[in-house]
Structure 1
């Protein structure tokens, strides 16, 4: 049995980077929704921009997960 350690390390590195990026993107979305709520309660402007940014973050997360599932199935 021969293990290609370079390929294994490459897969590990890419999956680590993608996981951290997805978690960070989802965190930005949650933070945007929380900021939109606090801005709306204080009566300030900018709530719509925070909500739009949060939804964009969630859409990018969904697209990345859907692409990953596509790669597994195909």
Structure 2
């Protein structure tokens, strides 16, 4: 039994980049909801829309991962 170290390194690298990217996008969504508008109220419509887009991207990435695992 031999280990293909190059393939293992590629899997590690892609997993690391995907994880950091997904956490970063989710963090942008949280920041978008946490921002305050000019009047001091809740987030502006643009920030809220951006936050929802970040959440949708995270949901799509998780759904794609489940699809890959199940296929």
The TM-score by the shorter chain falls in which range? over 0.9
Q: How many aligned positions are there?
A: 71
Q: TM-score, normalised by structure 2?
A: 0.92
Q: Which runs of 4+ in 1 moved over 6 A?
A: none
TM-score where L is the length of structure 1: 0.89
1:57-68 paired onto structure 2 within 5 Å = 57-68=54-65
Question: RMSD of aligned C-alpha atoms?
Answer: 1.9
Structure with the bigger percentage of helix: 1
Asked which structure has the greater RCO (Cα within 8 Å, sep 6+), the reply is 1
Structure 1: 5+ residue runs without aligned partners? none
